[in-house]
Structure 1
C-alpha cells in the first residue's frame, strides 16, 4: 500500500484503495488490537492515498473504534453516503459488458427480463447473470435459476430491511403482492398515520426498494417482491432497529441530523489538528497537514450536502 501511494505521489496522482465488506472492521479491534490505529495512521501519513470503505451496514459506529486520545477518529475525514441502485442504462451496460469491448451480445428480451427480476441491484445482477451465462451467451432465466436467485436474496435483503423504519417496512409489505399502488392506497394500509409518508416513499425509491410509476409506486424487482411475500407469509417480522447507535438514513430529518452530527465531529477534529499544528510551529508533521486537509474537505462536502438537503425540504413543502 505504501509503495503504491508513494508511486502515485511521485506522478502527482492519487491512489484509491477500496475496502469492501467494511462492516468486518467493526469487530477488528477486539480480534486484532491496534489494527485500526495502523490503518488510520497509514491514511494520515500517505497524502496520495484515499481510502474508500464500502459495506451493507451503517459504518458510523466505527467513529469510536479508536480512542480519541490515541489517534484521530477512524472516520475522521470520511464522508458517508448511501449508494443508489443502478439506473436502467447502467444496468444494461453492466449486463452487456459495454465497458469491456467487444462486450456481450444479449437479446433485448433477456435484458428486459433481467431488469424485471433484479432491477438495479448490483449483487443480484451479477449473481443472476453469472447463473445465466452458458455457452458464451446469456440464456433466458428459467424457474431453477430464479429459485436460486431468490435464495440469494436471503443473504441480501434482511440486513437492509431491518434498517428501515416501521412505516417503511409496512409500505413494502403492503405493496409486495400488488402490481402498484397510489399514494392514497398506500396511506390506507398503514396501521399508524405518518405525516412523513411522502418522504418515506421517496427514500424507499432512492434506496432501490420502490420505483415510481405514472400513477403511484411499485416494488423495484420481482426478486425483492418474492422475498417480501415470503417474509409476510411467515409472520416472522423483524422489529425496526431503534438502537441509538444505528442512524437511519431514510428520511430528510434523520439525514439532516446525521449530517449535522458528522459536521460537528469534523469541526472538532479540525480544531484538534489546528491545536497540534500550533504546537509544532514551522516544523509541522506530515500527518497533521494531511489531517487538516482531510477535515477541511469533509467539512466542505458536508456543508454542501446539508444545503442540498435543506433545499430539498423546501421544495417538498411547497
Structure 2
C-alpha cells in the first residue's frame, strides 16, 4: 500500500482537508478582490487548486489559475497569462471567449477581453493568482503596469480575483508610497491562511476522506497535533514518517521530530517574511517558552498597540499559539529551529517588511476575520435550526447520527462565538487556542 500522506505537492478533491469556511467566504463574500496570506507550505496553492476544482461546473464563475512563480518581467507575465488561458480553453470557449484571437494581446487587453466576453455570457472570470510575490519584482521594473493591473483587478463586475502569497507582498505598500493613486494592496481584502481547525486536522491524520482510512490512536493524534500546531504540511510530514505498511501510524518518538535541512529552509523563509517587531516577539516567546502579552511588551519594548497587532498576526499565521492563556511558539518543530539558531537570528532583526505596513494589513485582516466568522455563524445557526426541526419530526426515536450532527454543530457554533468575542475585544485577544478535536 502506498503512503497516503502527500508532502511537498499541492492537493485537491478528497485529498484536500478543511478550509470550507474560508473557501465559502472567498467565493461568496462581498469582496471581489481578495488576498490570502500564509507562510510557506501552509497550503496556498492547494487552496487555489481546490477552488478551481470546485468551480469548474459553477453556474457563475469560470476559473483561471495563473502561477507567477519565476515571473519577473512584463513579457513573462503576458506569456504566462496566455498560456494559462490556452490550457483552460475548453472551459472558456463555450462562453464565447476566442482564445486563439487573444494570442497577440497584451496582458491588460487579454484580461479586459476575457471579462467582457464572459460578462456577455452572464459569467464571471475567477482569476486565481498563485505566487503573487512576483508582483513585487514586476512593480519595481514597471510601476505603471502594476497600476494598470490594480485598476483592472479592482474593476468589480465580471471579475473576482483571489491571489495568494507570503507576507513579502507587503513590500508593495512601501514600494508604491510614491504613487499618486492608492497603493496596490489597497482594495484587496486580506485573509490569513491559518492552520487547520481541530476537526480537519484529525480528519487529515486519519485520512477520513480516503477509501482506506488510516488506523491511529487518539493519543497519537493529539501528540501529532501538539507537535505540528495543526500546520497542514507539518502534520503530513510527521504522519508520513509514522506510517506503516499495515496502514496504521505508530507512536511518535523524538527521532520523528528532527528538523532536516529542507524544513530548516522553510523556517528561514518564514522568519524572513516577518517585520522587525514580529521577529523580536517570536524570539522572546521562544526564549521564555510561555509569555503573557504583558510580558511580551516588557521583553520587546513594544507599545501595547504595536504588540497587540503583531501578536494577532503571529497567532493567525501560526508563528505563535495560545496555551492556557499564554503565548507559545506555533509548533514544536519551529521552536526547536529557533532555539538552535537563536544567536544568528538575533542578528537578523532588520527586515524588508516595515512594522507600519504589517500593522496596516493586520487591522484590515482583523475586520475580514470578524466578517468571516459572522458569515460562518449565520450558516451554522441555519443548519442547526434545520437539524432541530428534523429531530422534532422523529419524536422520541431520534437517530444517533442526527444527535451527533446536532452536537457537532452546537460545538462549532460555540467555538466560533468564542473567537468572535475575542476579536471584538481587540487585536490583543487571541483568536484561537490549541484544543483537542474531541
Q: TM-score range by the shorter chain?
A: 0.5 to 0.7
Does the CA contact (< 8 Å) of 1:179 and 1:218 recur in 2? yes
How many residue pairs were aligned?
251
Cα deviations by residue, 1:27-85 (Å, 9 ceiling, x for unpaired): 3657x474145355665527365232344x74652774877579951772435533122
Name the CA distance, whole Å, in 1 between partners of 2:57 and 2:250. 48
Structure 2 unaligned residues grouped into runs of 5+ = 1-51, 85-106, 119-123, 155-160, 162-187, 367-422, 429-438
Structure 1 unaligned residues grouped into runs of 5+ = 260-311
Within the candidate set 153, 163, 186, 2:296 is matched to 186
Partner of 2:79: 35
Does the CA contact (< 8 Å) of 1:150 and 1:223 recur in 2? no
Partner of 2:194: 84
Deviation at 1:314, TM superposition (A): 8.2
Does the CA contact (< 8 Å) of 2:201 and 2:230 recur in 1? yes
Name the CA distance, whole Å, in 2 between partners of 1:180 and 1:152. 27
Name the CA distance, whole Å, in 2 between partners of 1:203 and 1:158. 18
Within the candidate set 144, 167, 188, 2:255 is matched to 144
Partner of 1:107: 217
Cα deviations by residue, 1:131-162 (Å, 9 ceiling, x for unpaired): 22221222223333321x45332122222212
Name the CA distance, whole Å, in 1 between partners of 2:365 and 2:230. 26
Deviation at 1:185, TM superposition (A): 1.9
Partner of 1:158: 268
- 2:199 aligned counterpart, secondary structure: helix
Does the CA contact (< 8 Å) of 1:16 and 1:49 recur in 2? yes
Deviation at 1:225, TM superposition (A): 0.4
Within the candidate set 289, 292, 315, 1:205 is matched to 315
Within the candidate set 1, 4, 24, 2:70 is matched to 24
Name the CA distance, whole Å, in 2 between partners of 1:13 and 1:54. 22
User: Structure 1 runs of 4+ off > 6 angstroms?
Assistant: 8-11
Does the CA contact (< 8 Å) of 2:280 and 2:349 recur in 1? no
The normalised TM-score by structure 2 is 0.48
Name the CA distance, whole Å, in 1 between partners of 2:272 and 2:318. 15
Shift of the 97–19 alpha-carbon distance from structure 1 to 2, 3 Å rule, reads: farther
Within the candidate set 61, 74, 83, 1:14 is matched to 61
Deviation at 1:202, TM superposition (A): 1.4
The normalised TM-score by structure 1 is 0.63
Name the CA distance, whole Å, in 2 between partners of 1:203 and 1:11. 33
Name the CA distance, whole Å, in 2 between partners of 1:11 and 1:255. 32
Cα deviations by residue, 1:180-200 (Å, 9 ceiling, x for unpaired): 11122222211x332421221
